[in-house]
């Protein structure tokens, strides 16, 4: 039976969703959490809709079997391509990162740039969400497919990374954009590089805080918020749990303890 | 029943193994071929031994069910981590790309550099193979994990790619290396950049030709060489067959026709 003590499930293609986990822990420290990173099939950003839907449903079913009271799809690509399909098979409420991110960006910004993986940008998910919220805003989208491998290699501060960011973002530099949505959970780790490549004055929006706030609202509306002592956090990955543990600490300062392995 | 008309199976994590397919077609134009690219789970180079073995065995079994007379593991990572395990479950003979590549390099070279994915380099597969063939040669190995995403994005000629290659290879530039083994099937597409980063005078060795020669020898020894009219080539992928078709043409000039999809 699902109750207040049931965990929140959070999944991502790999490590990037840990930025969302961090925001959820800050806002809801009493909640029990299960995080799953699909490290055997990472990255999702260059794969097809069918593949991303199949992977996401498999993970959602696995987390449902562990009794989650809420499922957070922390991967922008999966949120863009698979959210509706995951909702169809899920008894627990399901939230993604696109709508919360779009809501943050829509508040007061007229010229909005969205950057993300090839699949996220091709889906037009942010553009559609923004159009509903702020029909008159100008929205531009740009895929930056090399950002994920650069982050995963820890090349966040290198000259080559600056060059690649400049090349991707040159068409949008000093063009009067108010805000840029980091439409991929890896990108917050490149915040400074992205900001410089855009000319320095663009507000940077990531979905993590807004997604955590939405999680709180959804649980509150169902009287499922936990309170009291600190929640437990369980980490799972589909491959290379040691590497997951090392990178979680190095990139995000998260001490995971043991990472369980769940292969598909 | 396996006979001369049975196909040769070739598999890779994605597109890179097409460099091997090309060499096989050139040397053995009468053979029927089946190529499988595991585009749903690409890349393999940062994944664990267990995952690469599981993926490789699944693919080998699928190709065995299609009656292949020889199996070529065209992926360096899978050749390095999974060859023995694939041989255990395979009735057809199995060859990888590491031993043929090492044999090419061992002939007359005393200082040999090996570059490849993180998993290939960590396995030490080339170092071990070279040690048996030419015990006195000096062998150095270097992982270049960003090369695969750069190739897959078509960034082969960009300034950022030059910078990344320089950074990886600076410790080996003008250090008297006779040869560099391209220990990843994607790397032939970066031949010029790699050559410049090493100072221009290093012989570049890729495994494709040597692997094709080994395939011919193995089939000849079993009286299974086909001859006569041109063989048929079938292409399969585990995801995004259209993208596979487009990139095969753009990067390697291969017209695949229809690419069948086989999901796991």
- B47 and A239 within 8 Å at the Cβ level: the answer is yes
- B167 and A146 within 8 Å at the Cβ level: the answer is no
Cross-strand pairs, B252? none
Q: What is the CATH number of the domain that holds A234?
A: 3.40.50.1860
In this prediction, residues B7-17 reach a mean pLDDT of 95
Q: Is A1 inside a domain boundary?
A: no
- B39 and A47 within 8 Å at the Cβ level: the answer is yes
Asked whether residue B154 carries a pLDDT value surpassing 90, the answer given is: no
Residues A161 and A173 in one domain: yes
SS3 label, residue B127: helix
DSSP secondary structure code for residue B147 in this structure = H
Closest C-alpha among A180, A177, A234 to residue A206: A180
Query: What is the least distance, in Å, from the CA of B48 to any CA of chain A?
Result: 5
Closest C-alpha among B23, B77, B29, B71 to residue B51: B77
Q: A149 contacts in B (CB within 8 Å)?
A: 145-146, 149
Q: Is A72 inside a domain boundary?
A: yes
Q: Which two tokens stand for residue B46?
A: 């940062």
Give the Cβ contact number of residue B245 at 10 Å: 18
Residues B189-232 pLDDT 10s: 899 999 999 998 999 999 999 999 999 999 999 999 999 899 99
What residues of A are in the B interface, CB distance below 8 Å? 39-41, 46-48, 50-51, 54, 145-146, 149-150, 152-153, 155, 158-160, 163-164, 167, 238-240, 243, 263
Residues A201 and A109 in one domain: yes
Q: B149 contacts in A (CB within 8 Å)?
A: 145-146, 149
Residues B189 and B111 in one domain: yes
In this prediction, residues B112-138 reach a mean pLDDT of 96
Q: Which residue has the tokens 């099937």?
A: B185
Residues A247 and A199 in one domain: no
Per cent of chain B over pLDDT 90 is 91
Q: Which residue has the tokens 């007379």?
A: B69
Q: Which of B190, B206, B222 is the last residue of a domain?
A: B206
Q: Is B191 inside a domain boundary?
A: yes
Could you give the strand order of the β-sheet that contains A138-143, starting from the edge strand earlier in sequence?
A138-143, A111-116, A179-183, A203-206
Parent domain of B151: 99-206
Residues A238 and A152 in one domain: no
Q: What is the pLDDT of chain B when averaged over all its residues?
A: 95
Residue B188: per-residue pLDDT:
92
Instruction: Check if the beta carbon of residue A126 is closer than 8 Å to that of residue A98.
Output: yes
Cross-strand pairs, A9? A34, A71
Asked whether residue B152 carries a pLDDT value surpassing 90, the answer given is: no
With 0-12 / 13-18 / 19 or more C-beta atoms within 10 angstroms meaning exposed / middle / buried, residue B135 is exposed
Q: Which two tokens stand for residue B4?
A: 């001369």
Residues A40-50 pLDDT 10s: 999 999 899 99
Q: Is B144 inside a domain boundary?
A: yes
Per cent of chain B over pLDDT 70 is 100
Residue A49: per-residue pLDDT:
95
Query: What is the least distance, in Å, from the CA of B47 to any CA of chain A?
Result: 7
Q: Is B215 inside a domain boundary?
A: yes
CA atoms within 13 A on the CB side of A97: 31
Q: A45 contacts in B (CB within 8 Å)?
A: none
Residue B21: per-residue pLDDT:
97
Residues B161 and B257 in one domain: no
Stated length of chain A: 264
Question: What is the rounded CA–CA span in Å between residue B196 and residue B58?
Answer: 39
Q: Which of B206, B223, B239 is the last residue of a domain?
A: B206
Asked whether residue B257 carries a pLDDT value surpassing 90, the answer given is: yes
Of chain A, the end-to-end C-alpha distance in Å amounts to 25
Q: Is A2 inside a domain boundary?
A: no
Residues B104 and B91 in one domain: no
Which residues of chain A have a pLDDT value below 50? none
Residues B32 and B78 in one domain: yes
Residues A202 and A215 in one domain: no
Number of domains in chain B: 2
Which residue of chain B comes nearest to A118, CA vs CA? B153
Residue B228: per-residue pLDDT:
84
Whether A223 sits among the annotated catalytic residues: the reply is: no
- A145 and B149 within 8 Å at the Cβ level: the answer is yes
Residues A144 and A239 in one domain: no
Residue A171: per-residue pLDDT:
97
Task: Give the per-residue SS3 of chain A.
Answer: CCCCCCCEEEEECCCCCHHHHHHHHHHCCCCCEEEEECCCCCCCCCCCHHHHHHHHHHHHHHHHCCCCCEEEECCHHHHHHHHHHHHHHCCCCEECCHHHHHHHHHCCCCEEEEEECHHHHHHCHHHHHHHHHCCCCEEEEEECCCHHHHHHCCCCCCHHHHHHHHHHHHHHCCCCCCEEEEECCCHHHHHHHHHHHCCCCCEEEECHHHHHHHHHHHHHHCCCCCCCCCCCEEEEECCCHHHHHHHHHHHHCCCCCCEEECCC
Give the Cβ contact number of residue A245 at 10 Å: 18
Residues B90 and B116 in one domain: no
Q: Which of A162, A186, A206 is the last residue of a domain?
A: A206
Instruction: Check if the beta carbon of residue B200 is closer than 8 Å to that of residue B206.
Output: no
Say which of A40, A150, A159 has its CB closest to residue B47: A40
Q: pTM of the prediction?
A: 0.90
Residues A141 and A199 in one domain: yes
**Category of A62 on φ-ψ map: left (φ > 0), alpha (ψ -120 to 50) or beta:** alpha
Q: Is B173 inside a domain boundary?
A: yes
Question: What is the rounded CA–CA span in Å between residue B28 and residue B213?
Answer: 9
């Amino acid at each position: 039976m699902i109750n207040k003590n049931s965990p929140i499930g959070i999944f991502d293609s790999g490590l990037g969703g840990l930025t969302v986990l961090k925001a959820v822990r800050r806002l809801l420290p009493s909640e029990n959490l299960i995080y799953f990173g699909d490290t055997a099939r990472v990255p999702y950003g260059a794969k097809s809709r069918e593949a991303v839907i199949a992977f996401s449903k498999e993970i959602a079913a696995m987390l449902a079997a562990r009794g989650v009271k809420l499922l957070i799809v922390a991967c922008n690509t999966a949120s863009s391509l698979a959210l509706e399909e995951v909702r169809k098979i899920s008894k627990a409420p399901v939230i993604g990162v696109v709508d919360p991110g779009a809501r943050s960006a829509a508040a007061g910004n007229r010229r909005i740039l969205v950057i993300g993986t090839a699949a996220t940008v091709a889906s037009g998910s942010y553009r559609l969400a923004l159009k509903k919220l702020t029909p008159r805003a100008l929205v531009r989208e740009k895929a930056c497919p090399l950002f994920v491998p650069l982050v995963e290699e820890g090349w966040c501060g290198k000259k080559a990374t600056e060059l690649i960011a400049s090349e991707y973002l040159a068409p949008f530099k000093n063009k009067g954009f108010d805000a840029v949505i980091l439409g991929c959970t890896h990108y917050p780790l490149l915040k400074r590089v992205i900001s410089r490549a855009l000319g320095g004055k663009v507000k940077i929006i990531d979905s993590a805080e807004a997604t955590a706030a939405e999680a709180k609202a959804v649980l509150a509306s169902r009287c499922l918020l936990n309170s009291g002592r600190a929640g437990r956090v369980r980490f799972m990955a589909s491959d290379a749990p040691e590497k997951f543990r090392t990178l979680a600490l190095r990139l995000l300062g998260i001490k995971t303890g043991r990472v369980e392995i769940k292969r598909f």
